[in-house]
Structure 1
Amino acid sequence: MNVKAFSFSASLRDPYPRQMTVKTAVYAVSGGGIQRLECQTRSFSIELDALDFDAEFGDTIQLTVADVVRGLASGEFECNVSECKGGDTLLKVYEVLLNGKSFKLLSAYKLSEGRLSKIYADTLTNLAPWRKRITSVSKLLDLSPQALEGL
């Protein structure tokens, strides 16, 4: 199954000022373990990537392409898209730096009806403690919490 991952930096003034950097890593989940995927990287294209970007970050960090376009009038946005070939179960780890504060967020995906469906996603606005989040994700992905400790 092919999957996209976005890594970007943004300095936006509208609808409210924010500086952010997001680095995304994608892991295949199988056999009770995880393995980081090797991906091909290219530049972001609004035509090809806007819907996927919105689906990935609209709820997680409350940022959409519309926010980026509106904020570009007085800001900056640089984004790379990594295209990865993964398995039926994937984990994405986002290292987020937002206005000087660091966060680590998780999203989990499983194959359902021929496509990857998001089964878990952290959000910045209601972030549980790290231990609780990795326990929840590990149960959903049939992993031990220790498999996610080093992320």
Structure 2
Amino acid sequence: MTQLTWSEAMRFGVEIMDEEHEAAVAEINALGELAGGDSARLRAALAAFAEHCRIHFGHEEALMEECDFPAHSVHAAEHQRVLAELGSVIERLDAGDRDFVADYVTRVLPEWLLAHLRTMDMVTAGFIIHSRERRADTF
């Protein structure tokens, strides 16, 4: 299992993003711990994580719109892909494919989050901060 550890290096300086990313790390770790246990508990945790993602992605997309982030559509498309993927994973769990789901929550999902943070979210947060600084300079 890939256990994630929240660190200051994952903090980008956009408060809501940082808070929700830290919560996502904790939720992914909890999913990993549930991977070999009761299917109903794992399913509930997966559904809760998907809802966390839906809300978080909405917050990020609103921030991207607010600052006219040029790669907004690319980043939003990745959010939609992940939400669809989480839905598919829940369906596979419902169908009894525990091995696939265990691999997803213990390997695929943690690796995706780290990659997403280091790429799309880091660039997005930097743009948001720069945009806020530019606006502050005009007042």
TM-score, structure 1 length as denominator?
0.30
Q: Relative contact order, CA 8 A, sep 6+: which one is greater?
A: 2
Specify which structure has the higher proportion of helix: 2
